[in-house]
Chains A and B, each alone.
Chain A
Amino acid sequence: DAKTTQPTSMDCAEGRAANLPCNHSTISGNEYVYWYRQIHSQGPQYIIHGLKNNETNEMASLIITEDRKSSTLILPHATLRDTAVYYCIVRVAKTGNQFYFGTGTSLTVIP
């Protein structure tokens, strides 16, 4: 699976948009970009995923660059409950299809 690079930590003011970048310069054409988050020691929570096009759901938006070498997860109005570690994962269909988690970005939402 392609490697991802994320900032170790970020802060965001409550109510503002949180923009979390991810670099995946070695991504292949059939690899999806997934975002999960982990609040404290809870189970990772699925946020969003995409292949080429930008995606939006009730939690967040995912912007993937045209060359697919990087992406940005956008939380439009961050709340204190969004404080968590955010993982960007790229994934290719193969036997097993397991996720390989990196170190993620620790996002702190500040009141």
Chain B
Amino acid sequence: DSGVTQTPKHLITATGQRVTLRCSPRSGDLSVYWYQQSLDQGLQFLIQYYNGEERAKGNILERFSAQQFPDLHSELNLSSLELGDSALYFCASSVSGGAAQETQYFGPGTRLLVL
């Protein structure tokens, strides 16, 4: 158990819909990262937040957005869903996100299926 929690575990929805994925980081961690893992793309970094502020963006679509709240939990919002958005979505956390030797700890993921 990494200490990072994600809800829900599974999500089934239809094309065109909007969903919200939630992540609670490990106690004391200020940075949250979101990753997407699909069959054809592997694990891809989407976005990072540090203490409520966006710090880095990766391959995140404009239909996707995220935020980190004052209690440090984070939400990833996926809108206008397409079949290709079906994937595993992982959240990770680290203490600050600013050091090369800083380890990230991953949550169990949310499996999204868009029908």
Contacts and interface: CB of A to CB of B under 8 A. Distances in A.
Contacts of B101: 32, 49, 51
With a 10 A CB-CB cut-off, give which of A41, A92, A98 has the most chain B CB atoms.
Answer: A98
Contacts of B109: 41-43
A44 B37 CA distance: 11
A45 B106 contact: yes
Interface of B: 2, 4, 31, 33, 35, 37, 42-45, 48, 55-56, 58, 88, 90, 92, 94, 97-109, 111
Contact of A43 (B45, B102, B106): B106
A46 to B, nearest CB: 5
A8 interface: no
Nearest to B88: A41
Given A95-B55, A95-B56, A44 B100 contact: no
Nearest to B33: A98
B105 A101 contact: no
A46 B100 contact: no
A41 B58 CA distance: 22
B99 A93 contact: yes
B21 to A, nearest CB: 13
A97 B106 contact: no
B101 to A, nearest CB: 5
A97 B43 contact: no
Contact of B2 (A31, A45, A91): A45
A110 B46 CA distance: 36
Contacts of B90: 43-44
B56 A49 contact: no
B80 to A, nearest CB: 25
A96 B42 CA distance: 20
Interface string A28-65: 00111010100001111110010100000000000000
Contacts of B42: 101-103
